[in-house]
Amino acid sequence: MAQYPRWIRFAALITVAGTCGLEAADAPTSTVDFARDIQPILSDFCYHCHGPDPGSRKAGLRLDQRDAALAGGKSGLPAIVPGAPEQSELIARIFSQDPEEVMPSPDSHRTLTDQQKQAVKRWIEEGALWKDHWAFVAPIRPALPAQAATSISPIDAFIEARLAQAAIPLSPEADRRTLLRRVTLDLTGLPPTPDAMNAFLADPRPDAYERVVDALLASPHHGERWARPWLDVARYADSNGYSVDAPRQIWKYRDWVVGALNRDLPYDQFVIEQLAGDLLPDATRDQRVATGFNRNTQINQEGGIDPEQFRVESVNDRVATFGSAFLGLTLSCAQCHDHKFDPISQREYYQLYAFFNQTVDDGHGSSKPGGVLEFPDEARTDTSASPEVETARFELFSYLESRDPAHVAWRPEITPAVLAQLKPEMQHNVTQPWTQLTAGQRRQLYGYFVRDDAEYNRRVEKLTALERSQNRVVTTLVMSELAEPRTTHLFINGDFTRPGEVVFPGTPALLPPLRVAGPRATRLDLARWLFDPAQPLPARVFVNRVWQVYFGRGLVETENDLGLQGSRPTHPELLDWLALEFAESGWSMKALHRRIVTSATYRRSSTARPDLAEKDPLNLLLSHQIRLRLDAEWIRDVGLAASGLLVPRIGGPPVFPPQPESVMGLGQVNRAWITSEGDDRHRRALYTHHWRATPHPAAAVFDAPDSFSACTRRVRSNTPLQALTLLNDRQFFEFAQALGARLQRAATTDDARLRAGFELCVSRDPTPPELDRLRRLLADLRIPDGSGEVAAESEVWTTIGRVLLNLDETLNRS
C-alpha cells in the first residue's frame, strides 16, 4: 500500500550538499557520519549492482559489507583503502571523467554531485568507519538529555533538546477545549460529549487531564478506534476479493481485535495469538479466532483458475504482511531474487514462506474442515449469504450473462397480449438491451420465457436448494495446520510453476537466531521469535506506527521500510527509548498511548508556525502539534455522535448503512446491499460491511484502504469529491436532519441552539463573528428563496446542521 515522502532522506542529502537542512543542526561539520552521510549514497547509487543480490552484482564487487569493499571485486583492486582515498578504486571511479570508467555508469542515469563525491572521499580519509544499519542493531537505552525546564516526560526531554539545538521555540499548550477534543478523538474516534467537556473544564485538579486520559483508555470505544489501524495492517474485509468477491464471515476476528485492545492484551501476546494462536498449548476458541489475522487474504473463486496459484498468492501475502506489519521490511522484494538493498536473500524469503505454507486453506475458498471455526451457540443474524450460495448464484448469473441477445429467443413472441400479462417492471425490462439488465432482471425474464433450458434449470435448482439449506451458523476463518507438513520450494523468479531447491522454515540471518521448541520450527516459534530481547525491529516498528497516528508522521517517515532504503529516524534516541520502555513495561499498549498523550509534546497547540517556513516547514522537530483530517471512519462517527443518532453497540456482524444505489452494480457479480434499518443504520463505521470490489464510497473517498494488502499508513487527500459526499450523500444528510432536530429540542432561542450545535460538532463556543454569520444564515433561510418558497423551521435547522457537519474544523483534529 501507500508509502510516503522521504523528506528526511532529502534533508540528509541536502546536508551533504551543504545547502541547508535539519540534519545540519546536529551534524558536526568536521566528521562524516557513515549511516547519515555515506550509506544513503552507497544504497542509492551503488547497491543496485554492488549490493546484496548476487544475481545483479557486477564485477564481483559488493559495497554493502566493509570486508568485501576492502577486498574489491574481480579486478583485484581494493575498492576502499581506509585512510587512503588516492589508493581506493572507488574514489578513482567516481571521480573519473572517462565514460568507460566512471561510476555510477552513464547508462544508469545516476550522477553523484560533487558534494557527494567529496563526502565519500572525506569518509575514506577519516578511516572509512563502517556501522551496521541503525535499524538492524537492537536498541540500547539512550541517556536522557539534560532536561529542559518545561519537560514533564522523557519524550519531551528528547524533543526539546533537539529543538533547543535548532533554536526553535516551542508552541504553548493547546487550550483545554482543543486538548480534550483532540485526545478524545485520538483515543476513542468520537468527539467529547458536552457533559465530558464541562466536567473537564470544571475540574481544577492538577491531574485532571491524566484522569481524562485514563477514563478514555478504559472506554470500550478505545478498542474500536485503535482496532482500525490494526485492521488496516491486517487487510480486514468482509468479502473474498478478486473479481467474484463473495462475502465471507470473519467479523469475529475484528471483534477479537477490539476486545484485545480493550483488555490491554500485552502486544507480544496480541501478536503471538494472531500469528499462531491455534498452535498454543490448549488453545482457546478466542486464541484461534485471533489467527483470522492471516485469513484476511483474498480468495479467488473465478472459474477455471488453478487454485494452487492463488493459495501461493495468499502465502506470499502472509509473508509480505509479516514483513511490513512486524519487521518494517519490504520482504516481497526478495520473492523473485535476493533483496537489492537489504541483506535478505531469496532463500530466506522462502524460509519465512515455509512457516505460512502449512495450513489447510486452499486457493479456491472451499475450506477444508479446520479452516472454518463454527459458533454453534450463535445463530446468524446478518443477511449476507454463505460462500456456497454466493458461488451458486455467481454460476447462475454468469450463465445468464453468456446468454447473449442472440440466445434470447422470446422477442418475436412478445405480442401486445403477452406484454399485457407481464408485471409492469417486466414490461419495461423486455424492451431493454440484454446487456443493460441486472442479473436479477435477466433471471426474471429468462425464467419466464425460456422454460426448456436444462442447463439453466439445473443451476437454478442448485441455487434454490442451497439457499434453503443454508447453514445459519456464525463462523469465522482461522489458521489450521496440516497434519503432514507441506514441502516448500524456493520458486525460481517467484514463479510457482518453477519450484527450485527445497527449503525449511527459518528466519533471516540478519536478525537474531530462531529458537525452536519442538521437533520442527513452527509459526509459534516464529511468533515468539519476534519478541526475543535481541530483536531490533518489532518494538520500533510498532511504537513508530502509534506515534504516526498522533503526529501525522512517524519518527521514521517510511513506516513500512526501516531498511536501507527507508528514511532515518528524526529522533533515534526517542524511538529507541519508546521501544525499550514499551518492551520493558510488559508490552502494554495502553501504557504506550498514555505515555505519548500525556507528554507536553502531544499537548502543544497545532496553530501553524509561519516562523518555521524555512527552518522546519514539515514540523519534523515537533515544536507544535498539527491539524490532521480525521480518517474516513471518524468522519462518519463524528456525524453520528453530533447528531445523536449513534448506536454505540460494540461488535457483531457487519451492517449496511445507506450508500448511493449505483455502487453495487460495479462488481463483476451484482451483489445486494440491503440497507440496514433501525439501530444498524447508525452504527460506527468500523462495522460497515466492507466489500473489497465495491467499498462504501464514503469510506473510499476519504482514503480508507482497499484491503488488498497490508496498509501501514493512510494518505490524506482533500478533494471536491469529499465535499460532494458530505454535502449531498444521503447518510450525511440524515445526520444533518437529526442534528437540526436535536438543536431544536435542545433550546428555544436561536443563539442557544447555534451554540449547542457548535459544542456538539467542534466542542467549543462560536466566536462572535461566527455566531453573527450563522445568525445571518438563519435570517436568509427564513426569507423566501428565488422560487418563493419559505423553508419550514425543520429545514432551516437541517441546513444549520449541514453547515456545522461540513465545517473544516469538524472534519479535523486540531
Partner 1 sequence: MSQLDPLPPDAAAHLHALTRRHFLSRCAIGLGSVALATLLDQSARAAGPTQPADPTTPKAPHFPARAKSVIYLFMAGGPSQLDLFDYKPRLNELNGQPVPDSLVAGKRFAFMTTSHGSQLLGSRRAFARHGQSGAWVSDLMPHTARVVDDLTIVKSCAADLFNHAPAKLFMNTGSGQFGRPSMGSWVTYGLGTESRNLPGFVVLQSGPRGPRGGSVNWGTGFLPTTFQGVPFRGQGDPILNLANPAGVSSARQRQTLDALRDLNLQQAVATGDAEIHTRIAAYEMASRMQSSAPELVDLRGESAATRALYGIHDDAPSFARNCLLARRLVERGSRFVQLYHTNWDSHGGPGENLQSDFEARCREVDQAQAALVTDLKQRGLLKDTLVIWGGEFGRTPMGENRDTTGRNHHIDAFTMWFAGGGTPAGRIIGETDELGFNAVKNRAHVHDLHATILHLLGLDHRRLTFRFQGRDFRLTDVHGHLIESLIA
Number of residues that bind partner 1 (CB under 8 A): 95
Q: How far is the CB of 484 from partner 1 (least distance, A)?
A: 29
Nearest distance in Å: CB 501, partner 1: 12
- What is the per-residue DSSP string for 681-731? GGS-GGGB---SSS--HHHHTTT---SSS--SS------HHHHHHHHH-HH
- Does position 433 bind partner 1 by CB under 8 A? yes
* Cis before 104 (ω within 30): yes
Q: How far is the CB of 429 from partner 1 (least distance, A)?
A: 15
Question: Is residue 440 close enough to count as binding partner 1 by CB under 8 A?
Answer: no
Question: DSSP assignment of 538-558, as one string?
Answer: HHHHHHHHHHHHHHSS-SSS-
- Per the CB < 8 A criterion, the answer to whether 651 and 258 are in contact is yes
Point out which span in 127-135, 148-156, 186-194, 716-724 binds partner 1 (CB under 8 A): 716-724
User: Rounded CA gap, 57 and 637, in Å?
Assistant: 53
The three-class DSSP label of residue 528 is helix
150-177 as b/e, with b when 16 or more CB fall inside 10 Å? ebebbbbbbbbbbbeebebebbebbeeb
454-493 residues in contact with partner 1 (CB under 8 A) are: 492-493
Single out the residue of 439, 478, 430, 72 nearest to residue 252, CA to CA: 478
Nearer to partner 1, 369 or 433 (CB): 433
Shortest Å distance, C-beta 639 to partner 1: 14
3-state secondary structure 305-330: CCHHHHHHHHHHHHHHHHHHHHHCCC
| Burial zone of 706 (CB within 10 Å; 0-12 exposed, 13-18 middle, 19+ buried) | middle
Single out the residue of 415, 436, 748, 749 in contact with partner 1 (rule: CB under 8 A).
Answer: 436
- Rounded to a whole number of angstroms, the minimum distance from the CB of residue 245 to partner 1 is 12
Q: Is 663 in the site for partner 1 (CB under 8 A)?
A: yes
Q: How far apart are CA 723 and CA 716, in angstroms?
A: 14
Question: Per-residue x/- mask for partner 1, residues 579 to 618, rule CB under 8 A?
Answer: ---------------------------xxxxx--xx--xx
C-alpha cell at 557: 517517515
Using the minimum distance from each CB to partner 1, give the nearer residue, 532 or 795.
Answer: 795
Q: Tell me: does residue 761 bind partner 1 (CB under 8 A).
A: no
Binding to partner 1 (CB under 8 A) within 391-420 occurs at none
DSSP one-letter code for 604: B
Q: Which is nearer to partner 1, 137 or 779 (CB)?
A: 779
CB of 214: closest distance to partner 1 in angstroms? Answer: 29
730 is an interface residue for partner 1 by CB under 8 A? yes
C-alpha span between 764 and 270 (Å, rounded): 38
Nearer to partner 1, 366 or 799 (CB): 799
Q: Does 297 bind partner 1 (CB under 8 A)?
A: no
By CB under 8 A, residue 721 contacts partner 1: yes
Site string for partner 1, 777-806 (x = CB under 8 A): x--xx---xxx-x-x---x---x--xx--x
Residues 94-123 binding partner 1 (CB under 8 A) are: 105, 107-111
Subset of residues 299 to 338 that bind partner 1, contact rule: CB under 8 A: 305-306, 309, 336-337
Q: Which stretch binds partner 1 (CB under 8 A): 69-77, 124-132, 264-272, 428-436?
A: 428-436
For 392, half-sphere exposure in the C-beta direction (CA atoms, 13 angstrom radius) is: 18
The footprint of partner 1 on residues 334-393 (CB under 8 A) is 336-337
Residue 770 binds partner 1, judged by CB under 8 A: yes
Which among 177, 408, 321, 355 is positioned nearest to 710, based on CA atoms? 321
Kindly state the smallest distance separating residue 77's Cβ from partner 1, in Å. Answer: 17
**How many other CB atoms are found less than 10 A from the CB of residue 469?**
11
* Cα 147 from Cα 345, distance rounded (Å): 44
Q: Which of 482, 517, 727, 752 binds partner 1 (CB under 8 A)?
A: 727
Least distance from partner 1 to the Cβ atom of residue 800, Å = 9
